[in-house]
Amino acid sequence: MDLLEVGIPPPDQQNKSKLIFNTRSLDLCGQMGAHKKIQVKSLAWKDSWDLFQKYVGTDALNSDPEIPELAEMVAKECCGLPLAIITIGRAMASKVTPQDWKHAIRVLQTCASNFPDEFDDTDGARNQGFNIISTLVHACLLEESSNTRFVKFHDVVRDMALWIASEMGEMKGKFLVQTSAGLTQAPDFVKWTTTERISLMNNRIEKLTGSPTCPNLSMLLLDLNSDLQMISNEIKKLPIEMKNLVQLKTLRLCSSKLSSIPRGLISSLLMLQGVGMYNCGLYDQVAEGGVESYGNESLVEELESLKYLTDLTFTIASASVFKRFLSSRKLPSCTHAICLEKEDTEMGLGQQSSRTPSPTTKRVEGETRCRGPYFLLFLSPSSSSFGIHQSSNNPSPL
């Protein structure tokens, strides 16, 4: 770079200013005619940590009890390099949740050479999701709720987001979103043909009739449809009639009064990653025509057959099914919450449940009996809490 061309005069008796620049190339220092070359060495840990705290600030460091320890891990990833410490410290100054910091650690530790090994790291993916939501909150595109587990979406911003996601309105059929619209019937299945994601949450839909053809559908949300009691007879023949749902990855039926799901339905959706059946009223019974419905051990068996399942919430209505669940090698680790709910039924929660690890609870001692409707926030490696509560108000987690 020619300093004269950018307006920096050469030093003389009147102009005694100094120009300081940094580079990783010693050759460049020679080409620029540097009078003095100073090598900036890596800082010792104490100096690194002090510098990092200075740029992060006390507001972020004190926003959560977990963050100081996570912040030290982030600072150590900078390996004492001042420029990295300053840059990353400034970037983390607005991060006030543990998930944001865990995501930063993951990003700093991940490189192209080990990316394939990280493919199935669902905990890392979840932290990345928290980081994205935090970024949107800071940009005022989402609003914080009084409940820290939820965020709010302004109607105008929501419409804009759907418009952008549908290729600036050119692919309006890509999303079908009618939440809290007071629907008693599902939209015409003709609209489902080109749809990729459908959300009909918080309506009063009683049944899904007909046999929709939706080869591109990857998400179907039916949460909080408290009147939903039946998925039509055509879906009992899912392996044949619904074979086009090959891309479905998320199915949520939480807090509905769904009383019958034919045996074989869930296991036929081979690409499912997320299944939400929390508090949906499924008990031991036999559906019309002798087709077994959920609430028995077939539920656990079908869920176990889902190769890509990583996020599960569901209802258990008998002690035998609960014990079968605990014996599974796969399901406890991907379960976010389960509902133990049936009147006059005893659930034995003793030594068996200690096989599932948790950061805050190492084991469950003694024998606990649960009578009546209860729900259990289940222990998994990514869980932060564990509790058994009486469920008189039918609470529903995320």
Q: How many C-beta neighbours within 10 Å does residue 169 have? A: 9
pLDDT score of 68: 95
The SS3 of residue 144 is strand
User: Domains in the chain: how many in total?
Assistant: 2
Residue 58 lies in a domain: yes
DSSP string, 74-125: HHHHTTT-HHHHHHHHHHHTT--SHHHHHHHHHHHH--GGGGGGGTT-HHHH
Residue 277, domain member (yes or no) = yes
d(CA 309, CA 8): 62
Phi, psi of 315 (to 5 degrees): -105, 135
Full DSSP string of 148-182: TT-EE--HHHHHHHHHHHTTTTTTGGGEEE-TTS-
**Residue spans of the chain under pLDDT 50:** 112-119, 232-243, 283-295, 343-398
19 DSSP 8-state letter? -
Other CB atoms closer than 10 Å to residue 178's CB: what's the count?
16
Residues whose CB falls within 8 Å of the CB of residue 141, separated by 6 or more in sequence, listed in order = 157, 161
| DSSP symbol at 375 | E
Domain membership of residue 203 (yes or no) is no
User: Domain of 385?
Assistant: 249-390
The pLDDT score that the predictor gives to residue 288 is: 43
> Is 50 domain-assigned?
yes
Residue 274 host element (H or E) = strand 274-277
Using the structure block, give the residue that is written with the tokens 């807090």.
Answer: 255
Q: Please tell me the predicted confidence (pLDDT) of residue 380.
A: 47
Last residue in a domain, options 129, 144, 159: 144
Place of tokens 């740029």: 55
Q: Is position 84 within any domain?
A: yes
Among residues 118, 144, 170, which one ends one of the domains? 144
Residue 22 placed within a domain: no
Determine, yes or no, domain membership for 306: yes
pLDDT at 397: 39
Where does a domain end: 90, 112, 144?
144
pLDDT, tens only, 156-202: 777 777 788 777 767 777 888 887 888 888 777 666 777 888 888 88
pLDDT given at position 297:
66
Instruction: Identify whether 362 is part of a domain.
Output: yes
pTM, two decimals, is 0.47
